[in-house]
Chain A
Amino acid sequence: QVQLRESGPGLVKPSETLSLTCAVSDYSISSGYYWGWIRQPPGKGLEWIGTLYHSGSTYYDPSLKSRVTVSVDTSKNQFSLKLTSVTAADTAVYYCARPMTATRHDAFDIWGQGTMVTVSS
């Protein structure tokens, strides 16, 4: 059973860079699928951040594109999120997720447990 687990600092200072990692178990990232990051601000809805294809291609939400980088480390079987110049508006639970179909960006059936990141000085 494929499992995802997010990790990273729970507190980031304004203007700094948020960095999270998603470790993948029981499936090799290099074998396929799109791998995504989704966030949820407190009390609000889901927001897609971006997706990485196993080959390295990336797709980002237009509103975040200038600040986001999603990358893969196949040797560690994990993928990462970097969000620069963070503000309080970036405070959220961050999830990594995988779609149920290898050729699709959406319809996420496998999710990490989520990690709360607070932006505050």
Chain B
Amino acid sequence: QSVLTQPPSVSAAPGQKVTISCSGSSSNIGNNYASWYQQLPGTAPKLLIYDDDNRPSGIPDRFSGSKSGTSATLGITGLQTGDEADYYCGTWDSSLSAVVFGGGTKLTVL
């Protein structure tokens, strides 16, 4: 059981937009920055979004992040087949003094 809650799967057609939610609490997302990772099959996770809504260098602006209260959201526009991957949210939990992750969301581009 993950501290952060994500939907197990989402799907959309190529070219469309999809959002992935990440629900937490005041001890994690509510008072700490959220991050998002993309994990392609057989590879290490890749940081997509940090500090709620910032993209590391090299990440396309098709990827965006937002946060409201104790929930964070990853948005992906102009979906491509290459976006099919598992997506994870993460943050620091001040009560646990631990890094916590969501259970992951599998994105299918139909």
> Which residues of A come within 8 Å of B, CB atoms?
36, 38, 45-48, 51, 59-62, 95, 100-101, 104-109, 111-114
Contact = CB atoms under 8 A, between A and B. Distances in A.
Interface string B74-104: 0000000000001010111000111111111
Q: How large is the interface on B (under 10, 10 to 19, 20 to 34, 35 or more residues)?
A: 20 to 34
B18 interface: no
Interface of B: 2, 32-33, 35, 37, 44-47, 50-51, 56, 86, 88, 90-92, 96-104
Main secondary structure of the interface of B (DSSP, over half): strand
B88 A46 contact: yes
B96 A62 contact: yes
A95 B44 contact: yes
A45 B50 contact: no
B44 A106 contact: no
Contacts of B100: 48
Nearest to B33: A107
